Every structure is written in C-alpha cells, then in structure tokens.
A and B are shown apart, each in its own frame.
Chain A
Amino acid sequence: MSYLLLEDGTRFDGDPAGASGHVTGEVVFTTGMSGYQESVTDPSFRRQIIVFTYPHIGNYGVRRSAMESDAVHARGVVMRSAVNHADAPGAEGGWLDWLAGEGVPALTGVDTRAVVRYLRDKGSMRGGIFPASMPEAEAMEHVRAEAPMAGLDLAREVTPAEPILHGAGNDGPLIVAIDTGIKGSIVRNLVARGARVELHPCTASAAELAARGGDAYFLANGPGDPAALGYVVETLRELIGTKPTFGICLGHQLLSRAVGLETFKLPFGHRGANHPVKDLETGTVEITSQNHGFAVVGPGGQHRLETDEPVRWETDFGAAQLSHINLYDRTVEGLTLLDVPGGTVQYHPEAGPGPNDSLYLFDRFLEQIAHA
C-alpha cells in the first residue's frame, strides 16, 4: 500500500504503481477521459501530481506519437484503476512500465473522486505520494519542503539551453518563440502550416530575439506562476508592437502581464478537455483543452465577466478586447490587442490531448502574419 498525503494532513490510500520512492508536488486533477500520456509529458504539469478523474488509465498503452515533449514532467500520477496493457493495438509500450522507467511514482486504486471533491472544495494544494512504510509525519515534512506554486518560476526548468529550429525545410514565416515549456502539438501545428518555428530559451533578451529577424513572436505554454516571470514580461514589453505576437496559456498570461494586466491563481485550475469557450466575435462555442492554474483579471478587476460582449481593457499598448470567454466560470479565455498586432488564448487550440475545435486559430494566426 501507498498513500497520497495533502498538505493539510488529509490522506488517501492506494496501491503503488510506476516507479518506487516518494514524490511531492502540487496536487491537481484533470477531467479529460483520454490522453493520459499527452498530459504527463506536457511541460505545463511540471512539479505537479496529476489526479486523473477518469478511472481507467493505461488502456491503450504508450506510443511515441503521443509525446508532448521528450520527458515526463508530471511528478506523480494518481489513478482509480491503472493498467499496463503493453500489447494494446498500436502501443509501443505499457503505461505502468513506462512510468516506472521514467522514474514517476504513481498510485492506483485510489478513490479519485473523493480526492477531486476534496480539492474542489479546498483548492489545489501541495501533497505527495509515499510508500506505506513512511510515517505520515516524515511524509508531511517532505510536503512542507515543497515550494508552493504561487510565485514559482518553473519555466527555467523546462526551457531549452540553446535555440532549436523546427520546420527548417519550410518556406513559410519564421516564428520566434519564447519556449517556457512548449507542447509538441503547438510546434507540429505551426510547422504543418508551413511555418519555421525557432524555440528560444526563456532567458533570451529582447535584442537577441529581435536579431533573429522573425516574422512573428510566439509565447508558449508552460508551468508555474506567470507573476514569477518578470524577466520574460520585460523582454516582451520591448517586442510588442514590432511584430505580430501570439500566446497560448502561460504565453497568454505573460503577454497580458506585459501589456499591464494582472493575473490571479484559480482555486483549483482548469484541467480537462470539455470546457466550453465562446468566441465573442462569431458567437460560436468551442469545446477546449485546458490546463492552467492561473488566469487573467478582466476589465475593472473582475475575475468573472458576466457579459457576452467583447469588453475592453485599456493597456500600456492601447486597447485590448476580450475575444474568448469560459462559459463554465466566465473567466478570460482570450484577448486581442487592437492597436498593436497580437492576440492570445488561455486554452489549448493545439489539442493533444483534447478536441480539435480550435485549430482554426493557427490558421488565423498565420493569416495575420501574412497580412502584417
């Protein structure tokens, strides 16, 4: 037996799976029903322990094509009923073997719904996966030693050391990206549309980035607290207005902060593949893939926007207009800069995992680059 211990002392028992040993991190839950391998390899899950709400995980094994990065970023995994299933059609390995090989401790047989209900009421918190042999007091020391997510710069942990070019053979625009932990699906979608995508360390200066002579800037998704990435925000302030600039997820938060807007921590975040987001320009609703723990504050300081109107902020770079809103909790899901070329979305149009409803945003993005 092993157990999940939360920072307030709440304990949930399970059976050990994956790698042995203990692990700590922020305990978050995701409600997607498929795409477990994509999730754990998404750099945005850095330093987090993922509780999957869907009970059966591992059903179709693992495969290279489902990797969102070259490593597992989640610290640990908590499941109701995990299977290895290495011989599933198309699988290249078993889920539990793979977790073990990647050094990721996991729990199975946990009443995950009870965990989720607890986190929903109390908010995300730190916690850890521990073997039964470890006393709770000792485990709690490990949990307390884990830094809280608020204020944490995790981009440096996942950013590349050197620039990397994808789509070198393409003849489309050159997109200069600040890689705070970009998902493979974002790169794939841009490259598939003819772009060359150059990923830069998040510590790159504005001058270094400008010197690349790109056609647009892209701000990636990634882990941690956007408020801790002041240096990226400063870099951005020098770039905004010079070229079309787009951001996804953390990138959306960073661009928002760069134009002078605020971000805040959501009680338990948005993680899943079923959140409805309304495009305020067309009035249509997209079902979106989501993975974020922070959000942008709306005009007038509101966290919830009780309107379906494309309301505006005044920013340091002119007006910004609300382009997308979350229909679940009415938080900001996207904005367009009106006076300088740029726009962002909080959710994941690249899917991986999740629905493909918003892939059009990549087309829109490339059209804007073409017309800039």
Chain B
Amino acid sequence: MPRRDDIHKILVLGSGPIVIGQAAEFDYSGVQACKVLLEEGYEVVLVNSNPATIMTDPEFATATYVEPLLPGPVAQVIAKERPDALLPTLGGQTALNLARALYEDGTLERYGVQLIGADYEAIGRAEDRELFRRTMEEAGLRMPASGIAHAVDEALAFAEENGYPVIVRPAYTLGGQGGGVAHDADELRAVAARGLEASPIGQILIDQSVIGWGEFELEVMRDRNDNCVIICSIENVDPMGVHTGDSVTVAPQQTLPDRLYQKLRDQAFKVIRAVGVETGGSNVQFAVNPRTEEILVIEMNPRVSRSSALASKATGFPIAKIAARLAVGYALDEIDNDITRRTPAAFEPTIDYVVVKWPRFAFEKFQGVDAGLTTHMKSVGEAMAIGRTFGQAFLKAMRSRELDAAPKLDGTLEELLTRLEQPSADRYDVLLEALRRGAAIEELHARTGIDPWFLRELHAVATDPDAVFAGERSFKAVDTCAAEFEAETPYYYSGWERRRASEVDRGRNRSVVILGSGPNRIGQGIEFDYCCVHAAMTVRESGRDAVMVNCNPETVSTDYDTSDRLYFEPLTLEDVLGVVEVEQPEGVIVQFGGQTPLKLAAGLQAAGVPLLGTSVDAIDRAEDRGRFGALLAELGYQAPPYATAQSPQEALRVAPQVGFPLLVRPSYVLGGRAMEIVYSEEGLAAYFERVRPQGEIYLDRFLENAIEVDVDALCDGEQTWIGGIMQHVEEAGIHSGDSACALPPHSLGAEELEEIRRQVDGIARGLGVVGLINIQFAVAEGRVYVIEANPRASRTVPFVSKAIGVPLAKMACRIMLGERIADLGLPADPMGGGHVSVKEAVMPFNRFSGTDALLGPEMRSTGEVMGIAADFPTAFAKAQAAAGSALPSSGTVFLSVTDEDKAAAVGIALLLHDLGFTIVATRGTAQALRPYGVPVETLNKIGEGSPHVVDRIEAGDVDLVINTPTGSGARSDGWEIRRAAIAHGVPCITTLAGGLAAARAIRAARMSGEAEVRSLQEIHGMAVAETA
C-alpha cells in the first residue's frame, strides 16, 4: 500500500523537557520522523516545549511551536494549523497522554484530526492496566497475578491474598514513576500511597513479584498488512526487580535457547496484534523463568521508547523512521533498508557483535535519597558500547560512564556480597571486585539472581581484563545483516581481533572529527548533543566529511544519518586516538560536547592531533584561576574576590581574606558539583567535613542579591558577536543551569548592558577565542563582575539560537573551519525581535523523595523548557506551565520567607491579594504582611501541631507555595513544606525573585487571557521547511 494522499498536514508531538524516564531518545525519534514526513511531502506541525532539541530546529518542520505540551496550548495550535492527522507515538508517554486528552476533550473530533500510528482504543488497551490484562488474557497470554487498587486498603487486601513481595506501579506515568517494591504491609502502605498520588487517574497496579526472573524486551514492528518483525531482543543483565532503564542491558538476548526465544517472539506478535497497534513500533517486556520456561508478559509500550532508540542504535534499523513511514501508509516491504540500500525493511536485523547499555546515575547530587535500584527509574542517562564479545562491550560501556568518582570497593568480601543483594548504581563495580577476590559464581548467582552465563563472562572480565582486549583494534561495521550483504551507510565500532581487520573506507575527502558529550548526566545533557549535531551539519555543508564519535544511544548525534561516518566509541583519549588513527582528520572539534571532549583536548594536542577552534592554551587560560585573574586585571575588569587553596586547611586560612559569604567548590567541576555557599568559617569547615574535596579548592566571594547574567557570544579571534544576553530570574547563587532566565534581559539598564558587551568583547578577544564563549556576570549595585568564562558551547546555546533565530553552534563551527564573523551575515541586533523568551529548568525532585527541593549553587535540573511571548510575564507563565508547574489563576497562596526577605515579600503578597488570592502564611511572615493591609490567615508550623501547613498542602487547600529557605537542614519545616508541595504537584517557588515573576505572570494571564501561539518560523520570519 503506498503513501496516503488523503492527509496533507501532520501534527507531531514531542516529549517536552528531559526528565528521568524521558530523555533525548525522543528527540532522536522525533527528528527521524519529522525528516521522513517532510521527505514524503507532508506538512509537519511540531509542538515541543524543549528548546534544546534538534527537532525544534525550524528546518525540521513546516511550523514549529515551542509551547507547553498541555491540552490548552496544543488545542490552540490545532485550531490555528488545522492538521489532518496527529502522530502521537514519537513523543513518549507525554505525547501519548496528551493525545488521549485531546481525544477525550473532543478537540480532535472538533477539528477533524485523526490519530495515526496508534488509535485511541489501542493506546487505552496498552496503557490502562486493567484493559491490558484483559486483552492479554483474551489473547491467551499470561501475566503475573495482579490487582488494581484505587486506595491503599485495596492494595493491602491484594497482598494478603497473593503474598509479598509485591510490585506497585501507578497507571499512566512515565518510567514507572512513583512505583516500587513492597516486602511487607508497612512498605506497601507507603509505596501504594505514593503510587496513587503519582498516577494522574489515581490508580495503581499491584503485581505478583517476579523478582529474580529473567527480564527480556522485544522491539516489534507491524505494518498495515499485518506483517510483524522483531527488530531486536534485549536481555536485562539485572533480573526482574530493577527498572529496565536502570538495568545494564545487552542485545541480542544471550541466555535463551532458540525454541524459548521463538516463543517470546510469537508472544510479542500476539501482544501487538491484540493491543491493536496497526502500524509502527512497540516494546514488549517479558519475565522468563529460565528453569520452568514460564513466560509472563509484563507490559507493552505502543510507541517508540528508550528501548527502541537503543534497539535502533544497536542494530542499524531506524525504528522511528520506519514507524513514520508505516504510519502514512507504507508496508515494510515497500521501504528500503537504509543501511544496505539493497534489501527491504521487511526483515529482522541479525547482529554479529554484542551491545551493552549502562545506565548513568547522579545520586551524588541528591543527598539523603535512597540510592537503591527498584522498579522506579532513577538513572539520568545511558552509555552504549559495541564489542565483538560481551566482555569487550561491557568494559567499553563501563568506561563510557565517565564517573566523577570511583565507587568505593573497600570492606570484606562478605560485606561486598551483602551489598550486592540490594541492586545499586555501583553494583557491577562491586561484583567485579568480588570476582577478583575469588567469590564463586554460584554464590554471586544466589545473591544477585544474575544468570550464570553473565557471571562467568564477568569473571573473565574481572580477572583478566587485558585478555578481553587481546589482539589489535579493528573497526567493524554495524550493517544489520552480519556482513551477509555489503552495506552502503554503515557505522563503526572497535573490536579487538587477533589481527587487525578494519572495515572503514574513509574515501579521500577531508574529514573533521566531532567529539560528542557521552552519556547524559546532570550538567551535561542534550544541549551539547544539539551543538555536536549542528557541527556535523556544518562540516558536511563545508564539503568535508563529518565524523562523529559518541557513545550515547539516546541522541541525534548517534543517528547514522547525522554524520558521514559514526564511531560508536567511548570518549576516552585512547578510544578517540584510535578513531583519529584511521580517519587522519583535518582537525578535531572539542568545543561542542561539554566537559567530556574538553578534558581530552590537552591529550589530543600532546599526541599531535590538530584541534579546530579555540586553542588548548586559551581554554587553560580561561579555566586556570590565576591566569584568568591576570587577564581580567590586565583588562581592568572586576571579579569578586577569590582565592585558590591546595587543601582544606589552606582554604580555611585564606577564607577571611576573600570574605563571607563565599562560594566554595573543588576545581574542574561540571554542573556545580559539590558547590556550596557558606556564610562563616564554621560553615566552611562543615563543608569540608561533608565533601572532603581532593585537589584544588576554589573560594569566591558570593555577591548577595546580585543579578546573574549569562552571555553567549561568537568570536573569530579578532571580532566578537553577542548572540544573547540572558538575565537570570533567580538571584546569583542559584546555579545557572537551574535558574530561569529571560532573553532579552528584563530589568538591566542600558549602561549595564553596554558594560557587559564591552567586557564580553574584551575577554573573548583577550583569550583568543575562535568559536563560542559563554561568560557569566553578576551585576550588583550597578557594577558588573565577571564570574567565569567558558570558551566552549554552553548549555544555553540552543535556547539562545531559538530565541534569536540564529543557529549559534553552526556559526561557531563555520568560524572554526576558517570563516570570519564578517562573512556570516549575522544580524546587528539579534535580540530585538520584539518577543521575550524565558528558559525554565525542570527539576527531578519528584523522583528522589528523600532530597530537599531547594535550588542552590549545585546544578540538579535534568532538562529545560522555553516559553516565548510578547512580554516577560507571559513568557514566564508559559515556561512554568511547560515545566509542569502551571501557575494557578486563583486560589490560595502559602507564603513563608526568611527575615531578610520579609520586606520584599510584601509586594508579592499585595499583588496576589489584588488578584483575588487568599494568602496564608506562617506566623512571622503573616506579621510582616499585616501592617501593609494584606489579609493573612496564620498557619501553624509543623512543631506547633495540627492542623499545620503540611496538613493544608496535603488536603489540597494550597495552590501555590512561595517558600524561601532558612536553611537546607533535612526535616526542617521548609524541607517538609517543599516535599509536600512536590508530592502533591503544587508549584513551589523557593526564591523571592521567582515569586515576583510568578505573581506578575499570573497578573498578565488574567489581563490578556489565553496567550497567543506563534511558530518559530513566524516569529523569526523564516521561510518554511521545504517539502519534497
């Protein structure tokens, strides 16, 4: 069946900000789908609130709306654009839930929009637990014993009947958010309550525990003719009980005999047919008892997923791309296999290598949380490696993690074995150590449930890692067919063989190697992948071959389409030099992938590898405090007083000279790791006690109540061009990655802006930057202070690019390839578009129930959203809504602020009172407000007894919390208030500046009603993307 001609315009929904459980994989999938749909001649309307995505680049859609992924704004887009169809299967759970909501509220019917890819009923059958179970039973498939509960008592009754342990999962959430395992009634009460809260429909599923069974996933595709194929089987090395997103997984499956595997395959087809996904990809999860050969269906996702992205990268079969073609009418045998170009997509990839995926965790960022792994996903990123053997792939994936600190492996063997009983982030480090110390396979199997085949392979890895990499590095191709056919666009991985047998044919064209950013982690996420992809595009446009090196399977950069040659490799010096050796590139770009490639710059230079752009010396000059300080002094710019100490003792000695409060951190950090503001010598000593930093320690005077400013600029060594000046909403002291910011600045004066421009130019040229530079300033009492300069792509590059309509990373890459700023045709006033863009960070606090939801100098956000509007308050409101904390338009506001903040809180309270809000406050805050004529109800602090503030939040009586911290001590009142707000989905603002912005946003929404939606193409007056 050929392409459908009865539809012309297709609405594609993205997945919004990067959060745990929903990350860059949906940018990868979305980009593929958008490209295909444009290629097929359809108009594509895209809605996604995440500016850091490639898919929201204007060239990937006919109309791109950076708007909140909520029914209201999307309905506005539908009313305006009138698409014929909605493709909801590429934007994760967010898009699927949104499509359901738009169906249920009648929007789709009203505007005649049909769902393609998966229809409403099919989505329901897959997503609604009860319906899914019934569907599976009707298809003759088994699931674990299960019950549905809408209340904690129902959950307890089920467990009484079926026994513990039980697994709790909330309905309609992503990444199993809010789920967990309960071993007894007490645990179940807590887990069930949390799950009910997390489910948007207040429903949880309780399962018979299959903890310890093997966990397998199959990626299935189906077309309109009912042809079904398995793209990839994935086996979790961690048995059932650990969320697949947190498990080390391997493809293809390793331990099932053929006949058992074929049963799984047959069942996967039954599942997709019974659910009724007519076209596209689905992920089906099974639990298998290897001894009894019992197979239980666990769940299915009727859409592309994290696993489908992994399967695509693992096999070379682009699931999202094919799914998009299937959705518009093609059959599998009518589509070509992109990699071979000589066989059809109706086949099952066969692979002749092993793929291992490792999760990347960030527990070090969240003090006090339970770091155990459960069915509730906690990892923030992943790395994938390919090897000729499991051992090679496992060790490559392990080194791809780029851990900040080595896991602790001390203690007796028995202690290590005990640690292994509870799955944890460092589980395999511990396991390898136990194997090195002679632990028996049987013992380890008993403690972990990990299949003996894996344990035996890991034994070899642990005891003789050199043997795993014996022989010579040979670059082999991923070709979907185990070399049965010649491949046209393969990608490569290094394997070690007896004799070198590399398959790379690099041709004769000049090439440029771009180093990616590795696994996503807090502080280094999709923004850097975005920049790397832009670099690849630019290198290709220049007529050179773009060569990408990266190990993150979620990303657009590791799509084989993005570069001329992709090397799926860890980003270590040795691995990169291996690529350089076969590529012999004109140069290597280290500026776009964050700290990961930057850390390699010196080593690459020492090995004689030419680097493009800003020199290693200039990078060092910006990062070395002494050298940078000298430059500032030379230029006559001010910086807050600072000192560098070699030890905590020295730091304590010099701290008084710097002056308190001060910002303390270890050197070379990413995302503000272990960065804190301390107010006294005692505070500093306590910090050292807690953090125990190694190496140099930086102390900076912290400027209180300063406005923080971020600038992204281009420089060709002689001329500087400023792309964007962003004013942070939160005052200085909140990590820039966690702070909301506005472009253009909303309250800086012309003189201050002029001074900032002057200093950016001075620093960029002074350092000799060739490419991008990001500089942070603090403005206090009219004076401009330089905080730091990073001569590389920053986290804000994609946001600025979308705000001003100029692709900064591409321009930077052109400069690095030899062009001058004057050649680039850049606008004189990029920020003068008459619109305001606000970026807001998205925090993972709801995932980490033990942590304090406070913003601070240490970055903890996982993603970001963008709001665009004609004025700052409206843009801020949009950004808040997109970030998942839509501001209320009426109701009750709870205020509790520190003594210093009390005067300033009056203005906010008055504004909200005038807007009709009821104000409630703790005693001190209430007393501060009353003299100004704000009617306030006083609430008890927790210590003053019920009913207190937390009771009120939990009762659903509070619609907005503004709470500035008096301290971040665990279990303090503030901590309990913030925890309760997050648990109950109440917007919680922890800075006064944020509170004021929120109040203004609420007022603006009240005055102007529904904010207008405008596409990026309209905003920037761009030509629309060409349809083929």
Q: Does A303 contact B (CB under 8 A)?
A: no
Question: Do A113 and B483 have beta carbons less than 8 Å apart?
Answer: yes
Kindly identify which residue among B225, B265, B349, B476 contacts A355, using a CB–CB cutoff of 8 Å: B265
Residues of A within 8 A of B474 (CB): 111
Closest to A268 in B: B484
Task: Give Cα A66 to B257, complex, Å.
Answer: 9
Task: Give Cα A79 to B433, complex, Å.
Answer: 30
Stretch at the interface among B6-14, B17-25, B496-504, B689-697: B496-504
Kindly identify which residue among B225, B347, B453, B501 contacts A327, using a CB–CB cutoff of 8 Å: B347
- A220–chain B nearest beta-carbon distance, Å: 21
Kindly identify which residue among A85, A276, A356 contacts B453, using a CB–CB cutoff of 8 Å: A85
Residues of A within 8 A of B946 (CB): none
Question: Do B452 and A327 have beta carbons less than 8 Å apart?
Answer: no
Q: Does A10 contact B (CB under 8 A)?
A: no
Q: Does B333 contact A (CB under 8 A)?
A: yes
Q: Does A179 contact B (CB under 8 A)?
A: no
Closest to A119 in B: B483
Stretch at the interface among B171-179, B350-358, B1010-1018: B350-358
Question: Do A285 and B353 have beta carbons less than 8 Å apart?
Answer: no
Task: Give Cα A120 to B272, complex, Å.
Answer: 36
Q: Does B256 contact A (CB under 8 A)?
A: yes
B441-475 residues at the A interface, CB under 8 angstroms:
451-453, 456, 474
Q: Does A349 contact B (CB under 8 A)?
A: no
Q: Does A53 contact B (CB under 8 A)?
A: yes
Stretch at the interface among A33-41, A222-230, A252-260: A33-41
Assuming the contacts A53-B350, A111-B501, asked whether A65 and B225 have C-beta atoms less than 8 A apart, the reply is no
Question: Do B347 and A274 have beta carbons less than 8 Å apart?
Answer: yes
Question: Do B484 and A34 have beta carbons less than 8 Å apart?
Answer: no
Residues of A within 8 A of B253 (CB): 34
Closest to A14 in B: B498
Kindly identify which residue among B262, B291, B351, B453 contacts A59, using a CB–CB cutoff of 8 Å: B453
Q: Does B438 contact A (CB under 8 A)?
A: no
Closest to B263 in A: A356
Residues of A within 8 A of B226 (CB): 284
Question: Do A328 and B452 have beta carbons less than 8 Å apart?
Answer: no
Task: Give Cα A120 to B477, complex, Å.
Answer: 15
Closest to A117 in B: B483
Q: Does B388 contact A (CB under 8 A)?
A: yes
Q: Does A273 contact B (CB under 8 A)?
A: yes
A343-369 residues at the B interface, CB under 8 angstroms:
351-356
Question: Do A83 and B456 have beta carbons less than 8 Å apart?
Answer: yes
Residue in A33, A117, A278 with the greatest tally of chain B CB atoms within 10 Å:
A33
Question: Do A272 and B350 have beta carbons less than 8 Å apart?
Answer: yes
- A20–chain B nearest beta-carbon distance, Å: 21
Question: Do A89 and B265 have beta carbons less than 8 Å apart?
Answer: no
Assuming the contacts A114-B501, A116-B482, asked whether A60 and B257 have C-beta atoms less than 8 A apart, the reply is yes
Residues of A within 8 A of B291 (CB): 89-90
Task: Give Cα A80 to B392, complex, Å.
Answer: 13
Question: Do B258 and A80 have beta carbons less than 8 Å apart?
Answer: no
Q: Mark B974-993, 1 if CB is under 8 A from A, else 0.
A: 00000000000000000000
Assuming the contacts A83-B456, A285-B333, asked whether A56 and B352 have C-beta atoms less than 8 A apart, the reply is no
Q: Does A306 contact B (CB under 8 A)?
A: no
- B452–chain A nearest beta-carbon distance, Å: 6
Task: Give Cα A80 to B352, complex, Å.
Answer: 9
Q: Does B241 contact A (CB under 8 A)?
A: no
Task: Give Cα A355 to B265, complex, Å.
Answer: 8
Q: Mark B255-293, 1 if CB is under 8 A from A, else 0.
A: 111110110011000000000000000000000001101
A66-111 residues at the B interface, CB under 8 angstroms:
66, 80-81, 83, 85, 87-90, 109-111
Kindly identify which residue among A65, A113, A275 contacts B259, using a CB–CB cutoff of 8 Å: A65
Closest to B291 in A: A89
Q: Does A63 contact B (CB under 8 A)?
A: yes
- B269–chain A nearest beta-carbon distance, Å: 9
Assuming the contacts A31-B350, A55-B389, A353-B258, asked whether A88 and B344 have C-beta atoms less than 8 A apart, the reply is no
Q: How many interface residues does chain B have, given as a range?
A: 35 or more
Question: Do A60 and B255 have beta carbons less than 8 Å apart?
Answer: yes
Q: How many interface residues does chain A have, given as a range?
A: 35 or more
Residues of B within 8 A of A167 (CB): none
Kindly identify which residue among B333, B451, B484 contacts A116, using a CB–CB cutoff of 8 Å: B484
Q: Does B922 contact A (CB under 8 A)?
A: no
Q: Does B229 contact A (CB under 8 A)?
A: yes
Assuming the contacts A66-B257, A111-B474, asked whether A327 and B344 have C-beta atoms less than 8 A apart, the reply is yes
Task: Give Cα A356 to B228, complex, Å.
Answer: 12
Residues of B within 8 A of A33 (CB): 252, 350-351
Residue in B229, B230, B484, B485 with the greatest tally of chain A CB atoms within 10 Å:
B484
A158-183 residues at the B interface, CB under 8 angstroms:
none
Assuming the contacts A59-B254, A85-B453, A287-B229, asked whether A31 and B262 have C-beta atoms less than 8 A apart, the reply is no
Q: Does B227 contact A (CB under 8 A)?
A: yes
Q: Does B309 contact A (CB under 8 A)?
A: no
Q: Does B343 contact A (CB under 8 A)?
A: yes
Q: Does A136 contact B (CB under 8 A)?
A: no
Question: Do A327 and B262 have beta carbons less than 8 Å apart?
Answer: no
Residues of B within 8 A of A323 (CB): none
Q: Does B871 contact A (CB under 8 A)?
A: no
Q: Does B205 contact A (CB under 8 A)?
A: no
Q: Mark B647-681, 1 if CB is under 8 A from A, else 0.
A: 00000000000000000000000000000000000
- B343–chain A nearest beta-carbon distance, Å: 5
Q: Does A341 contact B (CB under 8 A)?
A: no
Q: Does B702 contact A (CB under 8 A)?
A: no
Residues of A within 8 A of B350 (CB): 31-33, 53-54, 272-274
- B20–chain A nearest beta-carbon distance, Å: 32
Closest to B214 in A: A89
- A35–chain B nearest beta-carbon distance, Å: 3
- A108–chain B nearest beta-carbon distance, Å: 11
- A2–chain B nearest beta-carbon distance, Å: 12
Question: Do A120 and B484 have beta carbons less than 8 Å apart?
Answer: yes
Q: Mark B329-363, 1 if CB is under 8 A from A, else 0.
A: 00011000000000110111111111000000000
Kindly identify which residue among B227, B332, B389 contacts A81, using a CB–CB cutoff of 8 Å: B389
- A280–chain B nearest beta-carbon distance, Å: 11
Assuming the contacts A113-B476, A276-B347, asked whether A38 and B389 have C-beta atoms less than 8 A apart, the reply is no
Question: Do B352 and A327 have beta carbons less than 8 Å apart?
Answer: no
Q: Mark A1-33, 1 if CB is under 8 A from B, else 0.
A: 000000000000110000000000000010111
Residues of B within 8 A of A283 (CB): 225
Residues of B within 8 A of A80 (CB): 352, 388-389
Closest to A38 in B: B258
Assuming the contacts A89-B291, A90-B291, A113-B483, asked whether A63 and B346 have C-beta atoms less than 8 A apart, the reply is no
Question: Do A35 and B258 have beta carbons less than 8 Å apart?
Answer: yes
Question: Do B259 and A66 have beta carbons less than 8 Å apart?
Answer: yes
Q: Does B390 contact A (CB under 8 A)?
A: yes
Q: Does B193 contact A (CB under 8 A)?
A: no
Closest to A286 in B: B227
Q: Does A112 contact B (CB under 8 A)?
A: yes
Q: Known pairs A14-B498, A33-B350. 16 more at Cβ < 8 A? A: A29-B484, A32-B258, A35-B258, A54-B352, A55-B352, A63-B257, A83-B456, A113-B482, A117-B483, A284-B226, A284-B227, A287-B229, A287-B230, A327-B333, A327-B343, A328-B484
A–B complex contacts, Cβ < 8 Å, 29 sampled:
A31-B352, A31-B484, A34-B257, A54-B482, A55-B389, A59-B453, A60-B256, A66-B259, A80-B388, A81-B389, A83-B453, A83-B456, A85-B452, A85-B456, A88-B452, A89-B255, A90-B291, A113-B352, A113-B476, A113-B501, A116-B484, A120-B485, A274-B348, A275-B347, A284-B227, A285-B346, A287-B348, A353-B258, A353-B262
* Residues of B bordering A, CB below 8 Å: 225-227, 229-230, 252-259, 261-262, 265-266, 290-291, 293, 332-333, 343-344, 346-354, 388-390, 451-453, 456, 474, 476, 481-486, 497-499, 501, 503
* Residues of A bordering B, CB below 8 Å: 13-14, 29, 31-35, 38, 53-56, 59-60, 63, 65-66, 80-81, 83, 85, 87-90, 109-114, 116-117, 120, 272-276, 278, 283-285, 287, 327-328, 351-356
